[in-house]
Structure 1
C-alpha cells in the first residue's frame, strides 16, 4: 500500500467516485481478493459461530469490504498528506494487493522539501491503520462477545494491526521502505542511493516472508502449512519484483538527471512555406557538418511548424525542374510536436511531455529562433538503454 509518484496509472476497473479531485478506482482484481478473503474467513466464522450457517459467507464478505475500507483510508491518508505539501492526486486504486495512490509529477521541488514530503506521505498510511486498530479495540467493549459486530471488529482490528506493522517494514515497495528511502535521500543527498538501499532491504524482507512461513512452524515442532507457505511466497514474489522495478526506475532517473540532451538534439533551421528549397538547402549545409546535416522545419502559412524537408524528395524535384521549388512541397508532416527552450533538462523535458503525450518531436528554441529538433523516440531509446 505505497504512495508512488512514478506509477504509470490506475488499471481498469469500477470508478467509485472522486476524492481529492481524483478518481477512486476499484480494480477488477479486487473481486478476486474479496473472494479469497471470504473463502478463508468463512470457515473460521463457522467454527466460532456454527449457528450462522450460510450467513457466515455474507459476514465473511462484509469483512472483505471492511478490510478494503481500511485500505482506502490508508490510501486517502497518503493523498491528504500529498495535497498538504502541494502535490496533486492523480488516482487512488484498490486492488488485489491493497491499493496505491498516484500523484501527478512535480517539477522544481527542492531536495530537502521533496525528501520530507516523501517521508510524511509514506508514513501516514500505516499510522492510519494503527489508529484504526486502536479504535477497533476500544469499540470491542461496546458489543457482545462472539456477536457478528464483535467478530467483524476483532478481525478488522487485527487486520489493521497487521497492515500497519507490515507496511512499516523498511523495504520498498512497503511504505516503510519509501520512508527509509526518503531518510537516506535527506541525509546523503542521493535519492538514487536511498532507493537502491531500500529496494535491497525490500528483497531481504521478501525472502523473510517465505522463511517465516517455513521456519516458524518447524521451530514449534510442526509441519509448515502449505497454504500459508504458498500465500507468503506469492506476497514475496510481488515484493521482490516491485523492489526490483523501483531499483530499475531509480537507475533510469539517475541517468536522466545527468543526461546530456545535446546528444539527441539535431541542428535545425526554420523555413517559410514558399522559400526556395535550393537556397534553403545551401544555407542549411553551411551550418551542419558531415555526420549530421541541419534539419529544415517548414512553417505553414500561419507561421506554425508544419513538417521536415525530405532531402531525397528535394533532390529529385530539383533534378527534374529548373523552376523554383517551394520548401513546403518537399516537406513531410511533422505530426505531434512540442516547443522547448534550448537550456531545458531531460527531467523537465519529460515533465513537459506529460502534458503532450502524443508528441513525436521537440522543437528546440533559442528565444524565438529554432535551433534544433529532438526525435523523441531516439531520446527515449537513449534514456532507457542499459
Structure 2
C-alpha cells in the first residue's frame, strides 16, 4: 500500500469503527488529552475511565491541578500504580501555569521539557488536543507498524524504535491528524491485538507484511525476559478497637511514593522492637499468610502481622506524618495494601484463610 492508500484505508475504518465516545474524547483539549495519555500508560482503558472521571471532577483544568496538593493528586491516583506519573502531573501543571500562562506549549520539544512527558505523549497532546500534525508511538501503534512493515526485533530496542519513529512520521498526515492518530491507537487496541489479531477485518491487511509472511504471532518480538528479583518484608497491621489502622506516609520517591501504607520491617524482630519502643503489647500478635505483589522490575513478598491495640492510646495523625485512619478515611493506599485491609475488615473470623494476592 502507498502512503495515501494507508491513510485512506485507516481513516475509512476509523469513521465506521473507531472509538469516539471515551470520556476524554467528548470535550477534547490538550489538558484532558494529557491526563488521559498519562493514565493510559501501562493501564487498560476500562481501568482508566473511572479514575479519569474522578480526577476531572476534582481537577477540571490545569490551573485547578496546579493549585491542588500533591497528596490529593496521589490519593486520587491510588490503585493506578506507577505513582511517579501522578507526582509528575502535579509538577508539570505548576510549570504550565507559572511559565506558560496556563496554556500548553505548542511544540514537541517544549512539551518534552515538562516532567513525565515523552515524545509520544507530546505528539498526542498536540495532535489529539490541538489538531497539530505530530506523530505518536505508543504500544498499540508500535505493534501495528511492526506487523505492517514486517519489522522484527523488540520494539523497545533503540534501533527498532528509531525505525518505528521514521515510519510513524512518514505515515502521519497534515490533515485529520487527530483522527489518524486515534485510529492507529484504536486499531492496535481492538483489531491488531497482541494475541489473536483480527486480520480478516483489518483495513491494512492488503499491505501487512506480517500477515503476508505468516508472522503475525512472531511480530513484534516480545521483550527479552529478565529474572525478577524478590524482596521480602514484614508489614505491621496495627488496629485499634474502632477498626482504625495506623499508617505511615511513604517517601515522595520510590515505590508507592507519597501514599499512606503500613509500617514496613526487614523481619519480625525489627517489627517487635518497634512495638516495644512504643509500649505496644504484642502478646496477641497474629501472622497472616504471605502475600506477593509484582512490580515491573521486582516482586515484593510481604508477611502481614496483625496486632490489636485495645487499650492503647493512639498518637494523633499529622498531615505529613504517621497516624490513625478510620475505615472510611479518604486516604491514598497502594492497591495491595487496600486489598489486605479490606480482607481483614471483611472476614475477621477467617483471617487465617486470606488468599495470596498474586
- Higher alpha-carbon Rg: 1
Report the structure, 1 or 2, having the larger helix content. Answer: 1
TM-score normalised by L of structure 1: 0.23
Report the structure, 1 or 2, having the larger strand content. Answer: 1
TM-score normalised by L of structure 2: 0.25
Which protein, 1 or 2, shows the higher relative CO under an 8 Å CA cutoff with sep ≥ 6? 2
